[in-house]
Amino acid sequence: MQPPVLSAMRLGKRFPTGVQALVDVDLDVAPGETLVLIGESGCGKSTLLRMFNRLEEPSAGEVQIRGQRATDLDPIELRRQTGYVLQEGGLLPHWNVARNVELVPELLGWSATRRQQRRDTLLELVGLDPALYASRYAHELSGGQRQRVAFARAIAADPDVILLDEPFGALDALTRVELQEEFARLKARLQKTMLLVTHDLAEAFRLGDRIAVMRQGRILQCAPPRTLQRQPADAYVGELLAHAPEVPE
Amino acid sequence: MRCPRTLTLLVALLALTPATGNAESIVVGSKNFAESRILGEMFARLIESRTDLTVERKLGLAGTQVCFEALRSGGIDLYPEYTGTGLVTILQESPRGDAAWTLDRVRREFLSRWDLWWLAPLGFENAYELAVPSEVAETHNLRSISDLVALAPSMTAGLGYEFAARDDGLPGLERAYGLRFGSVRTMQQALKYQAAGERVIDCLDVYTTDGRLVVHDLVVLADDRGFFPPYEAAALVRGATLQRHPEIGAVIGLLTHALSEERMRQLNLRVEHEAEPVERVAQDALEALGLVGARAVDTVSSRHRSLWRYMWENRRDLGARTLEHLFLSGAGLLLGIIVAVPLGLLLERRRRSAEPLIRVVGTSQTIPSLALLAFMIPFFGVGARPAIVALWLYAIFPILRNTYTGLRDAAPEVVQAATALGMTPAQVLRRVRLPLAMPVIMAGVRTAGVITVGTATLAAFIGAGGLGEPIVAGVQSVDTTVILSGAVPAALLAIAVDALLGAIERWLRPRGVGR
């Protein structure tokens, strides 16, 4: 087995407000794997995600990225090598689509020509015609289009790790399914290591190679969808999975 | 990138700033009532016509304190003052002797303490006195202040602001005569006559040389206990100025004992009651004394003219006032931006101390404008400088508050995304938070702009000019036309500045923000 790209060891996080967000979390994400963190609001899944690009720092335990301690890495460098998509996309409203997609390449100092080529390739990859959309602004796009741009932006500098924080959470049901399917195709094609946070069970089953069920700052069970469904670790997981869709053999 | 645009704007504003400070010129001041203005204008004209010096006028400064501070700090070189005022208000001594004693006393004290010189008296006294409508005097058989004492508790007195507070005014009168009015209303000198005519007030303080005593049918009550000190009018000049230009002493000396009380009353009446321009009245008086040659006075009277006609005929002066006004408020605003925006940036990184500090700065808004302006004089003299400093203080708060909250509340999810993708904090600030906060910051600048344009009308009280000048002068002579000739352009200017800043805001606002 290859060494994990992302790992958390006995990770704990206590906020200054006294809230214990994470307790003794152990987690490994293998190269090319898509791991989904699922749980109710406030279970600590987003906090765990944000540990991997150092938007949050642990108060106990350790985060490792490609075998290196996260605290030994420069956070700015680390973030530029890590894709990130959040719920509402977080597109810079005062920059057009082109500039948004070119953001990380620009920070990395790529030449203008290289950036433009990359941008056009990516926009086509996520299904947006560069000629039509490159000069648009966020407020001129639909919710689904914004998430497509956000995804293109996340993979612009070709990071091997992508963190996604409820990327489809704010979309209407139809658009969500459409984007999830497209995402599944892209995922197969790109072979990236992905950590995805959601509270949508169907989404977790559709996209996750493995699913980690979280509750009150702990990981209750982390396993492939089918194992999860057949051998739930405890009553909570069982209850949760009772509503899960059939997993194809 | 918005930087080039912001820079362009700054450079443009700086280019508009007129160069200040000119070659040797003598600054003549006066207080803000007709007689003081006439005398100040006479001094100015005499110096202009009989020496090679150029004269700058700062007429209509708000009261004794402002004039005196201005003189002491070198903001003005001379102004007309009264010996009694020098003794009681400035030296804070109680009156003890006659006119000659008083003059001698103030001369010696002013010279040794501040190197200020009282030139020879102009020939008339202008003391405070109490007056009542003749009808009241007849009904109650009032002749002196002593007669008034019994009746006063049932009376309403209308008094000037200074008189009500000065030791040689009401407080002293209360001690000397046991005089207690039923109620006291303080109001502008000019308004008191109207109030007495309408019997809103029954008693008022007047000046000996007040032209309106005759017109308004008032009876002056005798000061039977000799409470009011002698008030001989004379020029008060800086020693340093006299040393550099001894000719000033000689020229003003031509007015020694040249003006009688009767003569002064007539001159005052022309300004106060007939709305004649101070410049013409002063010129006529000097011509009549044979001190200057005949010369047409290039000013416009508001008499028998509609507001628009008056404003049109007076357009050159109003244009200059408008420019002064714009300069004062523009400089205050610009300095406000230069200080408040960086301070807002700094506070945003020190949030714990931000709220208390912003609240402290906020109290600056509650200081009455006139008080703030007057407060500046000891530090900055008179004229544009203290006015700009005061306007600057007013401009800081709205810009600071909006910069701080604009940055603090700038779209958190966007800031998070920018951080998560690897922007450094400095990049996040410059490329994300500042552009996103721009509409809020500019709204603060707009508020500050309207405040400074509005408050700049008060700058006239400390000799900084602006559109407040005609307003102050108009209030003095109860001349609505003159008041409006300043007030209407000032209001239009506020609207225009707001519209202009609004346009700049739209220009600076990044596409995609604030919709």
Q: Which among A84, A94, A163 has CB closest to B510?
A: A94
Contact B420 A93 (CB under 8 A): no
Chain B neighbors of A84, CB-CB under 8 A: 417, 420-421
Assigned architecture for domain A1-81+160-170+187-249: 3-Layer(aba) Sandwich (3.40)
pLDDT value at A234 more than 50: yes
Chosen from B1, B414, B434 to mutate, greatest number of chain A CBs within 10 A: B414
| Set of chain A residues whose Cβ sits within 8 Å of the Cβ of B507 | none
- Helix, strand, or coil here: B4? helix
Q: Which residue of A has its CA nearest to B427?
A: A107
- Amino acid identity, position B265: R
**H or E stretch including B466?**
none
Contact B453, B329 (CB under 8 A): yes
> Does the beta carbon of B352 lie under 8 angstroms from any beta carbon of chain A?
no
> Number of CB pairs < 8 Å for A and B?
71
Closest in B419, B435, B511 to A137, CB measured: B511
**Count of CB atoms situated within 10 Å of the CB of A55:** 18
Chain-chain contact of A104 with B411 (C-beta, under 8 angstroms): no
User: What residues of chain A lie within 8 A of the CB of B432, using their CB?
Assistant: 92
Of A78, A79, A92, which has the smallest distance from its Cβ to B414's Cβ? A92
User: Does A110 contact B at CB distance below 8 Å?
Assistant: no
A62 CB within 8 Å of a chain B CB = no
What chain B holds in terms of domains, given with CATH numbers, is 22-125+231-299 (3.40.190.10), 128-221 (3.40.190.120), 316-508 (1.10.3720.10)
Gap from B429 CA to chain A (nearest CA, Å)? 13
pLDDT digits (tens), chain B, 515 positions: 445 565 555 555 544 444 444 457 899 999 988 899 999 999 999 999 988 899 988 888 888 888 998 898 888 999 999 999 999 889 988 878 888 999 999 999 999 999 999 999 999 988 888 999 988 888 888 889 999 998 889 999 999 887 888 777 888 888 889 999 999 998 877 788 888 888 889 999 988 888 787 778 888 888 888 888 889 999 999 999 999 999 999 999 999 999 988 899 899 988 887 878 889 999 999 999 988 877 766 666 666 678 888 888 888 888 988 999 999 999 999 999 999 999 998 888 887 888 888 888 888 788 887 778 777 877 887 778 888 999 999 999 999 999 999 998 888 889 999 999 999 999 999 999 999 999 999 999 999 999 999 989 888 888 788 898 888 877 766 778 888 989 999 999 999 999 999 999 888 887 777 64
d(CA A99, CA A137): 10
In the prediction, which pLDDT does B295 show?
72
**Interchain pair A93, B414: CB under 8 A:** yes
Start-to-end C-alpha separation, chain B: 19
Q: Which of B419, B423, B512 sits opposite A137 (nearest CB)?
A: B512
Please name the residue of chain A whose CA is at the shortest distance from the CA of residue B424: A76
Show which of residues 212-241 on chain A sit within 8 Å of chain B, judged by CB atoms. none
Contacts of A46 in chain B (CB under 8 A): none
> What confidence tens digit (pLDDT) does each residue in A128-183 have?
999 999 999 999 999 899 999 999 999 999 999 999 999 888 888 888 888 898 88
What are the helix (H) ranges across A68-111? 75-80, 97-101, 103-107
Question: Which residues of chain B neighbour A95 with C-beta distances below 8 Å?
Answer: 512
Residues 6+ apart with CB under 8 A from A242: none
Contacts of B436 in chain A (CB under 8 A): 93-94
Cut 0.90: pTM above it: no
Packing angle of the helix pair B315-349, B3-16 (nearest 10 deg): 140
- Interface pTM, i.e. ipTM: 0.89
Alpha carbon of B397: minimum distance to chain A alpha carbons (Å): 27
Residue of A nearest to B423 (CA): A76
CA B439 to chain centroid, in Å, comes to 35
| B416 in A contact zone (CB under 8 Å) | yes
Decide: A25 and A61 in contact? Cβ < 8 Å: yes
| Amino acid B18: pLDDT | 43
Q: Which of B351, B413, B421 to mutate to test the interface with A (most CBs of A within 10 A)?
A: B421
CA distance A10 to A24: 4
Which of A49, A91, A94, A97 has the most B C-beta neighbours within 10 Å, making it the best mutation to test the interface with B?
A: A94
Q: Chain B contact for A80, CB < 8 A?
A: yes
| Beta-sheet strand order (sheet of A20-29) | A20-29, A6-14, A60-65, A68-69
Give the H/E segment covering residue A59: none
CA-nearest residue of chain A to B415?
Answer: A90
State whether residue B6 sits within 8 Å of chain A by CB. Answer: no
Q: How far is A154 from chain B (nearest CA, A)?
A: 8
List of chain B residues whose C-beta atoms are within 8 Å of the C-beta of residue A86: 413, 416-417, 420
Q: Any CB–CB contact under 8 A between A137 and chain B?
A: yes
CB of B435 within 8 Å of a chain A CB? The answer is: yes
Please choose, from the candidates B250, B219, B190, B221, the residue with its C-alpha nearest in 3D space to the C-alpha of residue B35.
Answer: B190
Residues of chain A neighbouring B437 (CB-CB closer than 8 A): none
Structure tokens at B498: 């707001």
Full 3-state SS string of B55-122:
EEEEEEECHHHHHHHHHHCCCCCEEEEEHHHHHHHHCCCCCCCCHHHHHHHHHHHHHHHHCEEECCCC
**Dist CA B260 CA B466 (whole Å):** 34
The chain A residue lying nearest B433, using CA atoms, is A92
Q: What pLDDT is attached to residue B300?
A: 62
- Under a CB-based contact definition with an 8 Å cutoff, are residues B372 and B397 in contact? no
d(CA B28, CA A124): 77
Does B421 contact A at CB distance below 8 Å? yes
- Looking at CA atoms only, how far is residue B420 from chain A in angstroms? 6
Give tens-digit pLDDT for A93-125: 999 999 999 999 999 999 999 999 999 999 999
Written as six digits, the tokens of B361 are 């700065």
For all residues of chain A together, what is the average pLDDT? 90
Cα distance between the two ends of chain A: 24
pLDDT, residue B165, reads 84
- The full length of chain B comes to 515
- Which contacts qualify for A232-236: CB closer than 8 Å, 24 or more apart? none
- The whole-angstrom separation of Cα B285 and Cα B292 is 9
Q: Is B414 on the interface with A (CB under 8 A)?
A: yes
Quick check: A86 and B418 CB within 8 A?
Answer: no
Tell me the domain boundaries of chain A.
1-81+160-170+187-249, 89-158
